[in-house]
Homo-oligomer: A and B are copies of this chain.
Amino acid sequence: MSLRIIFTLVLNFLLVSSFFGQDEDAHMIKKIHDEALGNGKAYFWLKEMCQNHGGRIAGSEAYNSAANYTRHMLSTIRGVKSYFQSCEAAYWKRGDKEKVFIMDEKGKKTHLHALSLGNSVSTPGKGITAEVIEVQSLDEVENLGFANIKGKVVFFNRPMDPTQIRTFSAYGGAVDQRAYGPSKAAEYGAVAAIVRSMTTASDDFPHTGLTIYNDSLQRIPGIAISTNDADKLSAKLKTGRIKVFLKTNCKMMGMRPAPTVIGEMTGSEFPDEIILIGGHLDSWDVGQGAHDDGSGCMQAMEVLRIFEATGYKPKRTIRAVLFSNEENGLVGGINYAKISNESGEFHLAALESDAGGFSPRGFSFDADTAVFKTYFRHINQWLPLLESYGLSFEKGGSGADISLLKSQKGLLIGLRPDSQRYFDFHHTANDRIENVNKRELELGAAAMASLIFLIDKYGIK
Contact residues of A with B, CB < 8 Å? 33-34, 37-38, 162-163, 165, 167, 200-201, 359, 361, 388-390, 418, 420-421, 424, 437-440, 443
Contact = CB atoms under 8 A, between A and B. Distances in A.
8 contacts: A37-B165, A38-B162, A38-B163, A200-B439, A359-B418, A420-B437, A421-B437, A421-B440
Contacts of A418: 359, 418
Contact of A440 (B388, B389, B390, B420): B420
A75 to B, nearest CB: 27
A364 to B, nearest CB: 14
A168 to B, nearest CB: 13
Contact of A443 (B38, B165, B201, B390): B165
Given A165-B390, A361-B390, A424-B437, 16 more contacts: A34-B163, A37-B162, A37-B163, A38-B162, A162-B439, A165-B389, A165-B443, A167-B439, A200-B439, A201-B438, A359-B418, A359-B420, A418-B418, A420-B437, A420-B439, A420-B443
Contacts of A201: 438
Contacts of A421: 437, 439-440
Q: Lowest 10 CB-CB distances: which A-B pairs, in order?
A: A34-B163, A420-B439, A37-B163, A37-B162, A420-B440, A38-B163, A359-B418, A421-B437, A359-B420, A38-B162
A40 to B, nearest CB: 9
Contacts of A167: 439
Contacts of A437: 420-421, 424
A456 B247 CA distance: 58
A418 B163 CA distance: 20
Contacts of A37: 162-163, 165
A453 to B, nearest CB: 17
Contacts of A420: 359, 437, 439-440, 443
A114 B23 CA distance: 44
A163 B34 CA distance: 5
Nearest to A390: B361
Contacts of A200: 439
Given A359-B418, A359-B420, A418-B418, A33 B163 contact: yes
Nearest to A421: B437
A167 B443 CA distance: 12
Nearest to A388: B165
A388 B394 CA distance: 11
A417 to B, nearest CB: 10
Contacts of A34: 163
A27 B16 CA distance: 51
